[in-house]
Amino acid sequence: MGVLKYYVTAKDVAKLAGVSQSSVSRVYFKGASVSKKTREKVLAAAKELGYRPNEFARSLITNRTKIIGLVMKGIQNPFYPQVLKQFTTSFKELGYSILFVYTNNDEIQKEDIEILLNYNVAGVIITDASLSLNVTEDFKKNRIPLVLFNRKIDNEQFYSVCCNNLNASGKIAEYLIEQGCSDLVYISGNENTSTSKEREIGFTSILEKNNVPYKKYTSDYTYEGGYKMAQKIIAQRKIPAGFFVANDIMALGVVDALRENSIVIPTETKVVGFDNIDMASWPTYNLTTWEQPITKMVGQTVNYLMAEIVEFSGYTENVEVNGALIVRKTT
């Protein structure tokens, strides 16, 4: 038979310190009033016993945990694991943990966020999916601050942080024109996302302004999607002077398909991606891409959530952060 492990409780600390259990709770509850003498006695007893406050138990009183819910769909896209890593690191430094929720839905449904409500999360980040109307009210009703990360919605009901996609894709178009590309292909991701729509508008508007012909193809933000779409274009036996691919992982698929068909990059065609994932800089690819400023975007998101957790205002804004073109060997 195993030995039962004994867990030190606030009651044990109170007994050793010679104070009430409520005094122990006040010491560990931010903003609660407690005398210096009592605080010192409680902390000394806690250290001696190896006591750690139970965050879940505390949440039953405050109706909030020190947990940030993060909903993510595109785990196949290396950009989002990089985002998850930065959020986890940033919130850990502030004493918060991440509750990761994976969804299969392009649009977040009620069942996707029930676990967040059940855990009384302090805030929520939704990274690559849109919100349905029946979900928005649950967050507002419970006064839970929410940020759409790398997404935004037109009705401005929520705070959003994303790259300035219109500006970025316009700059990419100008760059490819300067490189002498006389005709271009744009391969989009999922068309129902704000990022894909804005990247297309920014890119094609510059091409139309400069009378540069182009064709658009739709894929799904995956390596396989980019690879298959490139094979389809190659089969048409009319290789464009350049490709703008809506994210890096698709662009890597395009590069591999072109190379398999002995099409020389950047001599015969050029390829530009979007995100600047770690793999883009690998010597095998050396992909020219637009760098999303993840550190700034994460910082903006964290600052907003921390402010709203302290005092909920419901303030909303679409925040756009500028990135930069990273030129490598595919152009």
Q: Give 42 or 259, the one with higher predicted confidence.
A: 259
Question: Could you tell me the fold of the domain covering 67-163+294-322?
Answer: Rossmann fold (3.40.50)
What pLDDT is stored for residue 56 in this prediction? Answer: 54
Higher pLDDT, 219 or 24: 219
pLDDT of residue 312: 86
Query: pTM for the complete prediction?
Result: 0.78
Interval 215-249: pLDDT, tens: 999 998 899 999 999 999 999 988 999 999 999 99
To the nearest 10 degrees (0 to 180), the angle between helices 21-28 and 10-17 is 110
| CATH 3.40.50.2300 matches 165-291 | yes
Asked whether the domain spanning 165-291 has the same topology as the one spanning 67-163+294-322, the reply is: yes
Band (185; pLDDT cuts 50, 70, 90): very high
- CA-wise closest residue to 201 among 172, 240, 239, 241: 172
Residues 155-180 have a mean pLDDT of 92
- Does the pLDDT of residue 24 top 90, yes or no? no
With residue 272 as reference, give the H or E element that holds it.
strand 270-275
Residue 1 confidence (pLDDT): 45
Q: Class of the 10-53 domain?
A: mainly alpha
> How many CB atoms within 10 Å of residue 157?
17
Answer yes or no: are the C-beta atoms of 197 and 154 closer than 8 Å: no
CA 28, 32, 34 angle in degrees (round to 5)? 85
Express as a percent the part of the chain with pLDDT over 90.
50
List the domain boundaries for the chain: 10-53, 67-163+294-322, 165-291
